[in-house]
Amino acid sequence: MAVALLLLLVVGCHYFFSSQVRRGIVYGDQPRNRLDLYFPKSSDGPKPVVAFITGGAWIIGYKAWGSLLGQQLSERDIIVACIDYRNFPQGTIKDMVKDASQGISFVCNNISEYGGDPDRIYLMGQSAGAHIAACTLLEQAIKETGEGESTTWSVSQIRAYFGLSGGYNLFDLVDHFHSRGLYRSIFLSIMDGEESLRQYSPEVLVQDPNTRHAVSLLPPIILFHGTADYSIPADASKNFANTLQRVGVRAESILYEGKTHTDLFLQV
């Protein structure tokens, strides 16, 4: 407990007082349309960039939850953009995906002004954020293959997607979440009703023949999961990676024996 409190204190001090953190950059017109940027100490040359969508069970997500990741990756000469988004009940999944897309668009179109390399942008999400990020990426690919769709960023601008401890097939997770306290009625409200589960289940959607062209646009996808994760079972990442491989996407799942839902996030 003492170690955890010390870590929280150190990360909190870095978040609020470090000159390497720029908090609350506006990317849209909604109340939660803000992002934080974490900068390396060195300012020489354009830096690779990670756009990160935090977790929080679609209810308590907040950009500051990415402060430890931001600090760790910035120490490795990477700029990190932690993107905030509306939570339930302020918004439902369609609003979360819309916010994430706007945040990613801001990063793709503006990160060069902050010293980032627009040709080396990576997308990452953790837990619910991994689900939101995957939905956003696939929705963007579908938009790009549609006629008359206006877009402000492109899937081709994302070098790779990294999903940490995410769930990608909602049909497989409804009962699991219910048993763990995220009750079915609440979860379905978050996901815009049972009729929307397919639309927000990337694993299901990529198997639809109508999305074949969109799926071909997806970047390499790497999914990480702990085998002792009881919040979202590791099979969620394993099954999604296998499905992606079957439809021609470069994808893999990496499982960590004995690691829990938050272990991977804390040791990135």
Catalytic residue among 67, 74, 101, 127: 127
Residue 127 bears catalytic tag: yes
What pLDDT sits at residue 43? Answer: 83
Alpha carbon separation from 218 to 144, 145, 148, 163 (Å, rounded): 11, 12, 20, 14
Residue 261 bears catalytic tag: yes
pLDDT digits (tens, 9 = 90+) for 92-119: 999 999 999 999 999 999 999 999 999 9
Residue type, 42: S
What is the pTM (predicted TM-score) of this model?
0.94
Residue 150 bears catalytic tag: no
Is residue 220 within 8 Å of residue 161, measured between CB atoms? yes
What pLDDT sits at residue 18? Answer: 80
Strand partners, 256: 226
Catalytic residue among 36, 84, 99, 229: 229
User: Which residues in the chain show pLDDT less than 70?
Assistant: 1-13, 17, 147-148, 265-268
What pLDDT sits at residue 3? Answer: 41
Which helix (H) or strand (E) segment holds residue 68: the answer is: helix 67-74
What pLDDT sits at residue 4? Answer: 44
What pLDDT sits at residue 219? Answer: 98
What pLDDT sits at residue 6? Answer: 46
